[in-house]
Copies of this chain bind each other. A is one copy, B any other.
Amino acid sequence: MNFRSDNTATVAAEILAALTAVNDKPAPSYGEDPWSRKLEDAFGALFEREVRVFTVATGTAANSIALASAVPPWGGILCHREAHIERDECGAPEFYAGGAKLVLIEGEAAKISPEGLKDALGRYGRDVHAVKLAALSVSQTSERGAAYRPDELAALGDMAHGAGLAFHMDGARFANAVAALGCSPADITWRAGVDLLSFGATKNGALAAEAIICFSADYAEEIARRRKRGGHLLSKNRYVAAQFLAYLENELWLKLATRANRLARRLGEAAGAHLSVPVETNQVFIKPGAAALVKMREGGADFYDWGAEGSGEARLVVSWNQSEGDVEAMASLLASLR
């Protein structure tokens, strides 16, 4: 029973098949191929408006290149204390942005609240001695599996734009958020003021397919340059484009995410009072204590501890193709702890 991460899962059959389908003859390199050229239309349809799309190899690259293109080196990037860009990217945003500063905000379920944002906006002075706050970055879903509702995002977006900040969303698990909220992708992005989205497919069935979606063409030239300089412009880009086209076709992305969310809810019900955060998407956080975690591992469960060392908290991630059997076995284990 492997619940360590959705990035341990395999690649969806539809996506793997797409690689073979584009492998028939030479094609222009560096994104000039027919499949790469279809990407902006495909994403445009998904988001109900014109967009610019830049594929990259990882979510770290998507986040860092997007943010670097929106903030000056002396900029401050507001994010949650538990944000992936803060804790899990070895300072990649600082590297790409030439030494920008991440400014940390607290908040329940790894979500930024308007109060938290307001407080942070006043944290630095406005003159040349302090960094200049320049971007707000949120994770949808959050690092604690929570999904921002459209109105919540719109409120943050208004505050960000009012303060002259760009609004970035880390959408490593964007599909899970849409599946949970039952809204359109547009509702939680540009309609709520999001300027730049890191759109992830790797965790939800792709092999390695991440993209920066620009809702403003202003960032495009800079992103194109930073992508090349970062070594993220792939010569045989059609094999990335093909993954995305298969991912978007027939709402594969939504089906896979919906299934994962559903199975995660099943675990949430089994965990009951041991949940440390309500289950909204495909991540389940439990805090049954250290002894119970030992027992779970003895029962064959594989997962990461979470939070402070020795806190007795753990994270269970349900992948797009997690077996029903695994989920039932885990649910039984969780129920046995109550």
Residues of A in contact with B (beta carbons under 8 Å apart): 2, 4-5, 7-11, 16, 19-20, 23-30, 56-62, 64-65, 72-74, 87-92, 94-102, 104, 122, 124, 128-132, 202-203, 207-208, 222, 224-226, 228-236, 239-240, 308-309, 319
Which chain B residues border A101 with CB–CB below 8 Å? 91, 94, 101-102
Q: B235–A202 contact, CB under 8 A?
A: yes
Q: B20–A8 contact, CB under 8 A?
A: no
Identify which of A8, A90, A226 gathers the most chain B CB atoms within 10 Å of its CB: A90
Q: A229–B16 contact, CB under 8 A?
A: no
Q: A57–B57 contact, CB under 8 A?
A: yes
Extra 20 A-B pairs, beta carbons < 8 Å, given A72-B222, A99-B229: A2-B26, A4-B28, A8-B26, A10-B24, A16-B20, A58-B231, A60-B231, A74-B90, A74-B226, A74-B229, A91-B101, A94-B94, A94-B101, A95-B99, A99-B99, A128-B224, A128-B225, A128-B233, A202-B235, A231-B232
Least Cβ–Cβ distance between A233 and chain B, in angstroms? 7
Least Cβ–Cβ distance between A217 and chain B, in angstroms? 16
Q: B231–A92 contact, CB under 8 A?
A: yes
Considering the complex, give the chain B residue whose CB is closest to the CB of A72: B225
Which chain B residues border A59 with CB–CB below 8 Å? 231, 235
Identify which of A226, A234, A236 gathers the most chain B CB atoms within 10 Å of its CB: A236
Q: B124–A87 contact, CB under 8 A?
A: yes
Which chain B residues border A26 with CB–CB below 8 Å? 2, 4, 8-10, 319
Which chain B residues border A28 with CB–CB below 8 Å? 4, 8
Q: A29–B8 contact, CB under 8 A?
A: yes
Q: B92–A230 contact, CB under 8 A?
A: yes
The 9 closest A-B pairs by CB, nearest first: A61-B231, A94-B99, A7-B235, A57-B57, A60-B231, A95-B99, A8-B26, A90-B228, A7-B29
Q: Indicate which residue in B16, B30, B98, B203 contacts A19 across the interface (CB closer than 8 Å).
A: B16
Least Cβ–Cβ distance between A230 and chain B, in angstroms? 6
Considering the complex, give the chain B residue whose CB is closest to the CB of A99: B94
Least Cβ–Cβ distance between A210 and chain B, in angstroms? 9
Q: Indicate which residue in B99, B100, B130, B228 contacts A129 across the interface (CB closer than 8 Å).
A: B228
* Given known A-B contacts A16-B20, A208-B234, A234-B57, A229 and B91 have beta carbons under 8 A apart: yes
Which chain B residues border A92 with CB–CB below 8 Å? 228-231
Q: B29–A5 contact, CB under 8 A?
A: yes
Which chain B residues border A95 with CB–CB below 8 Å? 73-74, 98-99, 229-230
Q: B19–A90 contact, CB under 8 A?
A: no
Least Cβ–Cβ distance between A69 and chain B, in angstroms? 11
Which chain B residues border A232 with CB–CB below 8 Å? 57-58, 61, 231
